[in-house]
Structure 1
Amino acid sequence: MTSELVEMIVTGEIAEGELLPPEAPLSEHFGVSRTVIRESVKRLEEKGLVVVTQGRGTQVSRSGSWNMLDPIILSALIDNDESLGILDELTIVRGHLESAMAGSVAARHTPEELERITHVLDTMRAMQQESDASRQEDVVFHLTIMEISGNRLAENIAKRLYRRALESNRYQGAGYQGAFESTIEEHTRVVEAIGRNDVEGAERAMRDHIVSSWQRRRLADPTAG
């Protein structure tokens, strides 16, 4: 029930600034009691999707007020993202967050922590070609740097975005020649910058990797076919 209403709002079926239909029509439309409708509207309010005003009704909030890290909202945004716009935005945010975390690791890390990161890269490199296993090691590489950074807030937000994006076929995008080699080369730049305590270099290498790899995978015309 809540998910259906979230999707109606996210897709613009009920646009920003519009009022939700009254309880009775919603109850009839979904085949549930008014109590269920009220509980669902309360959930929407908690997620920042609507504002309930006595005597006026329930109005859809501006998208800037939505809790976009909420799993239901984030899933609805990505699942209905035919233009790939939300994935473009997600990539920019993720790039900045992981860039900052890579910089933190470059600024301060132990030899053991650097060895952990290097080991993941070496494991991936030994696979010699793109595969499910190499893609999994790619994820481990990013999660390892997040963890070592010690920035719990950035790690939490980046993980939510990254893991949910990975579930989307649109985010997996189109295959391209040299994908494995490009990933290895770009990961290597990140590790080398961390190893020489080059904060700016690590930030730049991580951000460039995340943004450029998405641009290479991104479908030129996501609505085609």
Structure 2
Amino acid sequence: MAELVDDVVGGRYAAGSALPNEADLGARFGVSRTVVRESVKLLQDRGLVRSHQGVGTVVREFDAWDLIDDDVLSALVRHDESRAILDELVAVRAGLERDMAAATAGSGTDVAEVRAAYERMAALREDPIAFGLADVAFHDAVMRLSGNRLGRVIVNRIHDKARTTERYHGAVTPEAVTRTLAEHAAVLAALEAADADAAGTAMHAHITGSWARRRPAQTLRDIRRSAAPSSDAGG
């Protein structure tokens, strides 16, 4: 099924075109017609195709696709040569994390867990892998403390997919690490001051600014248009 998802998302079968029949798909993948039928049903559940009597299984327009589905989103990121999907993903993430940071700051919740993650980042700045894990823990702590369970799940899901592609990552230089730490420190300071506006602004500035620095300048989209005004090394 994943291969069929990849074929549709990657454009092998364009919107409005029909998939090969069950026999041909079965021969291509070396599976039975029953397996093909079940796979096509899974594509239908994800909004990728629709069966039409007398026509066959037809690929649907992009707007019908379930973009949050793991297989669909993974394929979209994999084929995102223009980085348009990554632009949208960052905009969604930045908006949600801005709101969750503001909620955490406004709740009066103890943010010692966030500080501990920040201190781990600072201590591990010479180890890119460990630094990155501490960075993820920082963001996840802020989201968890916000109480927005759905927002946290959405961000973690889409961000996990972004991290699977090299197009999302930039060089982890000492300068990038220093700037990332400073941006996280601004978020932490606002959380500890219980300043919801400052926490949301600082979080949004960090996420969008980090992506703007990593993204090739010649095709950079204005990913700040859909959210509040704003100013990681990789996240």
TM-score (norm 1): 0.89
Structure 2 partner of 1:167:
164
Mapped partners of 1:182, 1:130: distance in 2: 16
For 1:72, the aligned partner's letter is: D
CA distance in 1, matches of 2:170, 2:178: 17
Distance change in 2, residues 1:51/1:109 (3 Å):
farther
Number of the residue aligned with 1:31: 30
Q: RMSD across aligned C-alpha pairs, in angstroms? A: 1.9
Deviation for aligned residue 1:176: 4.8
Q: How many residues align?
A: 219
Consecutive unaligned residues of structure 2, counting only runs of 5 or more, are 220-235
Query: Whole-Å Cα distance in 1 between the matches of residues 134 and 44 of structure 2?
Result: 39
Q: 1:142 Cα shift?
A: 0.6
Give the superposition deviation at 1:221: 7.1
Q: 1:175 Cα deviation (Å)?
A: 4.0
Match for residue 195 of structure 1 among 192, 211, 221 = 192
Aligned equivalent of 1:92: 91
CA distance, structure 1, for counterparts of residue 38 and residue 32 of structure 2: 10
CA distance in 2, matches of 1:60, 1:22: 13
Q: Give 1:132 shift.
A: 1.6
Alignment of 1:75-224 (within 5 A): 75-110=74-109, 113-129=110-126, 131-176=128-173, 178-220=175-217
> TM-score when scaled to structure 2?
0.86
- State percent identity of aligned pairs: 42
Unmatched tracts of structure 1, length 5 or more: none
Partner of 1:73: 72
Letter in 1 for 2:28: H
Q: Deviations over 1:45-103 (max 9, x none)?
A: 11111112233321212222212222211111112222222111111111111111111
Change (3 A) 1:176 1:221: farther
Letter in 1 for 2:215: R
Give the match's secondary structure for 2:111.
helix
Which residue number corresponds to residue 58 of structure 2?
59
* Offset of residue 140 of structure 1: 0.6
CA displacement at 1:9 relative to structure 2: 0.5
Aligned partners of 1:40, 1:220: CA distance in 2, in Å? 40
